[in-house]
Amino acid sequence: MLREVLRLAVERGTTRSEELARALDTSPELVCLLLAELTRRDYLQAVVPGCSTACEHCPLRAACLYRRHARVWMLTRKGKAWVAEEPISRTFGVAT
């Protein structure tokens, strides 16, 4: 299921944990745990674990979901290798 949640999240780009949970027929809480496990295993890396830049000066202002309690991850080299058989983007966000 780890690979499924990783592929689905990356395919969708920006999504909500509830949407991933529906697609995987599981709970949003389990999706959050799976994303945390993927991070712990070094398949994902948090891009913005916290924000210290004022929004008006941030170059990512237009794409930022952090203000709405979203987390943004990117695939690590290990994560890219794990899902290499499918074309994927490098970053995605999940609103929790």
* Beta bridge partner(s), residue 92: 73
Whole-model pTM? 0.65
Give first-to-last CA distance, the chain, whole Å.
Answer: 19
What are the backbone dihedrals phi and psi of residue 78, each rounded to the nearest 5 degrees, phi first?
-65, -40
Kindly give the interhelix angle for 28-40 and 2-12, rounded to the nearest 10 degrees: 100
Fold for domain 2-95? Arc Repressor Mutant, subunit A (1.10.10)
Per residue in 36-79, pLDDT (tens digit) is 899 899 998 877 655 555 566 666 666 665 555 566 778 888 88
Q: What is the mean pLDDT of the chain?
A: 75
Q: What is the DSSP letter of 96?
A: -
Q: How is the chain split into domains, by residue range?
A: 2-95
pLDDT band at 84 (very low <50, low <70, confident <90, very high): confident
